[in-house]
Amino acid sequence: MKMSNQTTVAEFLLRGFSDVRELQILHFLLFLGLYLAALMGNLLIISAIVLDHHLHTPMYFFLVNLSTLDLGSISVTVPKSMVNSLLDTRVISYPACVAQVFLFVVFTSTNFALLTIMAYDRYIAICDPLYYERVMNRRACVHMATSAWLAGLVFSALHTGNTFRLPFCQSNVIDQFFCEIPQLLKLACSNSNLSEIGLLACGVFLALNCFVFITVSYVQIFKAVLKIPSQQGRHKAFSTCLPHLTVVSLLVCTGFFEYLKPTSSSALVLDLLVGVLYAVVPPMMNPVIYSLRNKEIKAALKKLILWRLFTKN
């Protein structure tokens, strides 16, 4: 929907997965299943950790924060897309689009910062275990988690403000199932090259620093693990790191591909597919990744489920 150069956008139209009514219903049901799976998985992880005093450790404290971020991230994008498919509409208001961009960037950037802190936690636990309790005490963990949230809020405020200060008058159709910055920059009627450069430069700089920190931490971790004499000790050390490393890889691969590809040359189907991969898949898969490879989480989940069954009976 093209608009005149003198008209500003009052609302946006989100790109749907299909115009066929049957496929819209299928999309609604599919997203409903993914959303419920993400909600149930993350809520189970949070409940198991909160109710099991044996899991009140720094690693699981950060995992509760990570699950909270995943709940927020998927709740910002998926429900609106589901409602649009169910009601056969694409409209999202300007304020709702601003809120969606701000919250999604908050949750995503805080998620990345938190994963960096979790890499540091694993580094201290494996490479300097004698200093672990002193370095990763309750106060330090709270300060680090709070810093991650504040950094995400500031980062999101800067980028959201930088994006929506631009007038949108070329079109009001966003080629994605939710509002995101790269797609919004396509709609700016003024030259958005500086905004694109600023977005990429700042985002890549911060993400690269986090990625380098995580990589260096794991290089040191692997060196320390390989020096452990017993095979059982090495396996235990690797098992505590593998879920975190898998989650980092999933987020980095999908996020980097989305934000580093040229905003003007990507195909619509590819945009929608990558949007699902980095906005829907990680929040749904993270609980599975952590629960499958962690015996303590498995035991806490079994205890929680059994407790619920006994209380019902």
The rounded average pLDDT for each run of 10 residues, N- to C-terminus, in the chain (313 residues) is 53 84 90 93 89 85 93 94 90 93 93 91 88 90 95 90 80 86 80 63 78 87 82 73 78 69 58 82 84 72 70 60
Residue whose C-alpha is closest to residue 84's, from 186, 174, 184:
174
Beta-ladder partners of 168: 188
In terms of DSSP H, where are the helices of the chain?
21-51, 58-87, 94-127, 132-135, 138-164, 181-186, 193-226, 231-260, 268-279, 281-292, 295-312
Strand order of the sheet with strand 91-93?
91-93, 11-14, 173-174
CA angle 49, 53, 56 (to 5 degrees): 65
3-state secondary structure of 271: helix
Residues 6+ apart with CB under 8 A from 54: 296, 300
**What does the CA dihedral 202, 205, 210, 213 come to, rounded to 10 degrees?**
-160
CA angle in degrees (0–180, nearest 5) for 146-77-11: 115
Retrieve residue 27's tokens.
Answer: 């999309």
| Confidence at residue 8, expressed as pLDDT on a 0 to 100 scale | 66
pTM of the model: 0.85
pLDDT score of 273: 80
- Domain of 62, CATH number, reads 1.20.1070.10
What is the amino acid identity at position 223?
K
* Per-residue tokens: 79: 């429900």
Q: What six digits make up the tokens of 34?
A: 């993914």
Whether the Cβ atoms of residue 168 and residue 187 lie closer than 8 Å to each other: yes
The parent domain of residue 270 ranges over: 21-305
Q: How far apart are CA 218 and CA 239, in angstroms?
A: 13
Is residue 5 situated within a structural domain?
Answer: no
Q: How far apart are CA 188 and CA 8, in angstroms?
A: 10
Which residues sit opposite 12 in a β-bridge? 92
Q: How far apart are CA 32 and CA 269, in angstroms?
A: 21
The residues, ordered by sequence, that sit 6+ positions from 156 with a Cβ below 8 Å of its Cβ are 102, 103, 105, 106, 109
The answer to whether the beta carbons of residues 169 and 7 sit under 8 Å apart is yes
- Asked if residue 175 is part of any domain, the answer here is yes
Q: What is the pLDDT of residue 2?
A: 44
Q: Looking at the domain assignment, is residue 33 inside a domain?
A: yes
Checking 268-274 for CB contacts under 8 A at 24+ apart, the result is 268/15, 268/175, 271/15, 271/175, 271/176, 271/183, 272/15, 272/17, 272/175, 272/176, 272/177
pLDDT at 30: 93
- Is 166 in contact with 3 (CB distance < 8 Å)? no
Q: Is 313 within the bounds of a domain?
A: no
- Is residue 14 in some structural domain? no
Residue 13, domain member (yes or no): no
What pLDDT shows up at residue 145? 95
Number of domains in the chain: 1
Q: How far apart are CA 159 and CA 144, in angstroms?
A: 23
